[in-house]
Structure 1
Amino acid sequence: MKKMKQGQTWKNWAHTSESTPERIFYPATIEEVCEIVKDAGKQKKSIRVVGAGHSFTKLVQTDVWLMSLDLLSGIDSIDEENGTVTVLGGTRLFQIGEELGKRGYAQENLGDINVQSIAGAISTGTHGTGIEFGNVSTQAIEIVLVTASGTILTISEKENSEYYKAALVSLGSLGIIVKVTLKIISCPIYEYTSQKVHFSQLEKQLKQFVKSNRHFECYLFPYSDIVQVKTMNISERKPQSLKLHHFQNLLLENYLFFLISEMCRLFPKSSRFFSRLSAKAVGSSSIVAHSYQLFATPRIVRFREIEYCIPLEHMGAALIEVRNRIEEKKHKVHFPIECRTVKADDIWLSPSYERESAYIAFHMYKGMPYESYFRDMEEIMKKYEGRPHWGKMHNRKFAELSDTYPKLPEFLEIRQELDPNGVFLNEYVKKLLSIS
């Protein structure tokens, strides 16, 4: 019997989206998902689907029907011969990592947060870093959708292939992802390193950092010349205990940073001082462990975020302009600016569509004004052909999106074909994609 709640308020993780749906459904089987969708069609109700609620936009927000995939979770099968794993749509990324790790396997790449559901990660183009690796959607070789008619549609390069490139990043607007088959690899052992460099050094060696490391990311601290560089590369050494590493992450990157953030919220003019202090506190460290244990770090401090994808060749120039704009406008921000790289792909709504990409993310602590800062950063990202991350805050209009996503018209044709009555839409998605 499917679980259902009425009159319950839903909020996303960042508390940037809130609504009270008529009903919230918690199906535990694919059959239950089909039944709910058929009921929605009969009653002319719309459905939005939520995984972990880690999108910062109003992608999920609805006053009609909301479906949580929390109970539709778990690994269905592992095909060791072909190097694939099949998982249910609500399975969280950390669960996949842990279960695969027990068998000696891993996803080839993950982001720095691993609490998202696999369906949500695919739908929004969630990514990690490493110029030889695409976003999480590129790992999916087969997707099983429940369509607006309540029927099951299997999509891959071999089956219903005309929908494949549209379904890999779809904002939940084509149907409900109930099952995914992913490529997997033998679980690598990585050496993770963190080092402190000056921005001038990053400028000179940026191309080398990107090309010579399997996974590279860096963090710029507002009002500071110090940059934290993080890398992960294959190691022949034995994995080490992660207890101290995790303790330091929790203590420094969460609890102490929470106290700093509260000080900045109460005394915004202190943001410059605390950003510089945080930069000075960056130390050199190294740890060897299995890949899935190192990709993500806990996130306890809540924040607002925008993130833009720009062509990789513009990364250095964009970062210089970002630093200058923060100094010029004296923005009261202390959160580091996160910079990552992603391989080009051919997924229609992927921000990395047909270009090697740099992703630059800007954060503001919850409770602090963010509009002016985000507006200025977004202006710079637009200048460098920026495409917004679908799960992060942005102010792009449909006309602008049409200019930057050449396959958007084809995507919308497929969306109309699979969901002609708009069962899987909400007001936010309708406005974003100019659907009447």
Structure 2
Amino acid sequence: MWVNWWGGQQCRPRRTDRPLDEAGVVAAVRRAAERGHTLRPVGSGLSDSALALTDEVHVDCSALTGIVAITSDTVRARAGATIGSVQEALAQRGRALATVPHAPGATIAGAIATGTHGGGAAIGSLSEQVVAMRFVDGTGRVRSVSEDDPPWAPHADAALDALRTGLGALGIVTEVELRTVPAEVVEAREEAVGAEEALAGGGPLDAHPFATVDVHLPTREALLRWAGPAAGEPEPAPGGPVEALGRAVTRLGHTASAQWSAQRSRPAPRWEGTVTGTAHELLPDPHPLRGGFTEWALPREALAAAVRELGAATAARDLEIRRPVEVRTGPAETGWLHPAHGRATGWIMVRAHRGDDHDPLFRLVGSVLEGMGGRPHWAGRHPWTAADMKLAYPTLPEFLAVRDRLDPDRLFGGPHLEALLGP
């Protein structure tokens, strides 16, 4: 039995292969093909989507770990390496990933395949940082693709923008090369703000290199968390940034956090004052919620209106959102199936506690945000089908053409993938 991190997705594959190297991946793919089985790649199971579900073969890539090489401006890692392990290896060389997602335990390949992002109007997702990949296609052949290759054309076998956010439909990734940036000390702060101020175009979400806003929909209270380069060389927070993140605090500003902490559905402060450290230490959520989530990518200009509409819709239907809604921004992406493809994006995430019946809430969230131009994050819950994909992604035909070449027999199929992309 395979179960994702919080228990909301599960399946019983007939077989699970855990390759330790690329040759093991090739062997798993060829064995499945010979036996007429389909297979799905899995990593750390932090996604809440149904992409990994199958009753046939799992290829668990979580043991395919380690750093292959670090150059002056790139890092090459094996697919099963976690984001956190890559960040730690880079930190020792004075480098960093530009993108800092919430989940350092996610595998690099899984995070890229689903379009996992951080929070920064000018900083693309992990997918956008990819400069090259190695992968095993549906025939068991090892292939590589790089951003230095000629632009994709109808006669070509692959394109990097197809592999960026590939949903596990084009092959099993074995290595990924990503751009890096110089490591720097940042200082992070949080402050109580009004939702309209926080979400407005040109406001705090766009002004800081890293920023996120937690919004309590019923009251329109919001908590802005942001980080930027530290001025000079400030001293780290007492106990170090990790300990600072884990401390329970009872005030923010003077009175705001005391008011909010009385209701667990309202934004809760993470830091007291200003904390200093590296971005990958400070920005991930130190206490991730065990529960389901749905996240949608909207045109940046629709973000404030979408949050207002979501609040009105949930209130009208008496549906409680027990956690603050998390809002982030990001730039347009080039990945053909990335939710931020072709447009500056505002991200809205709604979480549900483990044990809650989240289906009615998530259906409403999807209905409201889809109606405002939203596209679902592939790691979260969503109801989309191939018909929705055709309307939302102008590059879908190109992606499907690459899929036909790389996996003509649909070895990497599965019920969820078939619903999204067709047979």
| Fold-level similarity (TM above 0.5) | yes
8 Å contact from structure 1 (residues 238, 289) kept in 2 = no
Please point out which of 211, 228, 235 is paired with 1:233: 228
- Give the 3-state SS of the residue equivalent to 2:31 in structure 1: helix
Q: Which amino acid aligns with 1:54?
A: L
Alignment of 1:190-205 (within 5 A): 190-202=186-198
Structure 1 residues 225 and 428: CA distance shift in structure 2, 3 A: closer
CA distance in 1: counterparts of 2:244 and 2:217, whole angstroms = 22
- Give the 3-state SS of the residue equivalent to 1:21 in structure 2: coil
CA distance in 2: counterparts of 1:342 and 1:407, whole angstroms = 20
Deviates more, 1:346-355 or 1:298-307: 298-307
Alignment of 1:40-59 (within 5 A): 40-59=32-51
**1:61, CA displacement in angstroms?**
1.0
**1:221, CA displacement in angstroms?**
1.5
8 Å contact from structure 2 (residues 134, 174) kept in 1 = yes
**1:243, CA displacement in angstroms?**
3.6
Identity of aligned residues (%): 25
Counterpart position of 1:265: none
Alignment of 1:199-278 (within 5 A): 199-202=195-198, 206-235=201-230, 236-238=232-234, 240-241=236-237, 243=239, 245-247=241-243, 249-250=245-246, 252=248, 274-275=263-264, 278=266
User: Does 1:100 find its partner at 2:96?
Assistant: no
Please point out which of 426, 429, 435 is paired with 2:414: 426
User: Does 1:401 find its partner at 2:412?
Assistant: no
Q: Which amino acid aligns with 1:29?
A: D
Please point out which of 136, 149, 160 is paired with 2:126: 136
Q: Which amino acid aligns with 1:180?
A: V
8 Å contact from structure 1 (residues 132, 343) kept in 2 = yes
Deviations 1:265-299 (A, max 9, x none): xxxxxxx97346x4476775311111221221234
**1:201, CA displacement in angstroms?**
3.5
8 Å contact from structure 1 (residues 240, 288) kept in 2 = yes
8 Å contact from structure 1 (residues 113, 299) kept in 2 = no
Specify which structure has the higher proportion of helix.
Answer: 1
- Give the 3-state SS of the residue equivalent to 1:144 in structure 2: strand
Counterpart position of 1:294: 282
Counterpart position of 1:312: 300
Counterpart position of 1:328: 316
Q: Which amino acid aligns with 2:317?
A: K
**1:108, CA displacement in angstroms?**
0.6
Question: TM-score scaled to structure 2, two decimals?
Answer: 0.91
Deviations 1:65-92 (A, max 9, x none): 1111121101011112xx1111000000
Query: Is there any run of 5+ residues in structure 1 with no aligned partner, and where?
Result: 1-8, 254-271
- CA-based RMSD of the aligned residues comes to 2.1
Counterpart position of 1:416: 404
Question: TM-score scaled to structure 1, two decimals?
Answer: 0.88
**1:334, CA displacement in angstroms?**
1.4
Please point out which of 143, 161, 166 is paired with 1:165: 161
Query: Is there any run of 5+ residues in structure 2 with no aligned partner, and where?
Result: 153-158, 250-260
Please point out which of 359, 365, 373 is paired with 1:377: 365
Q: Would you say how many aligned residue pairs link Structure 1 and Structure 2? A: 406
Structure 1 residues 12 and 242: CA distance shift in structure 2, 3 A: farther
CA distance in 2: counterparts of 1:46 and 1:93, whole angstroms = 28
Deviations 1:319-348 (A, max 9, x none): 111222232222122111000001102211
Counterpart position of 1:390: 378
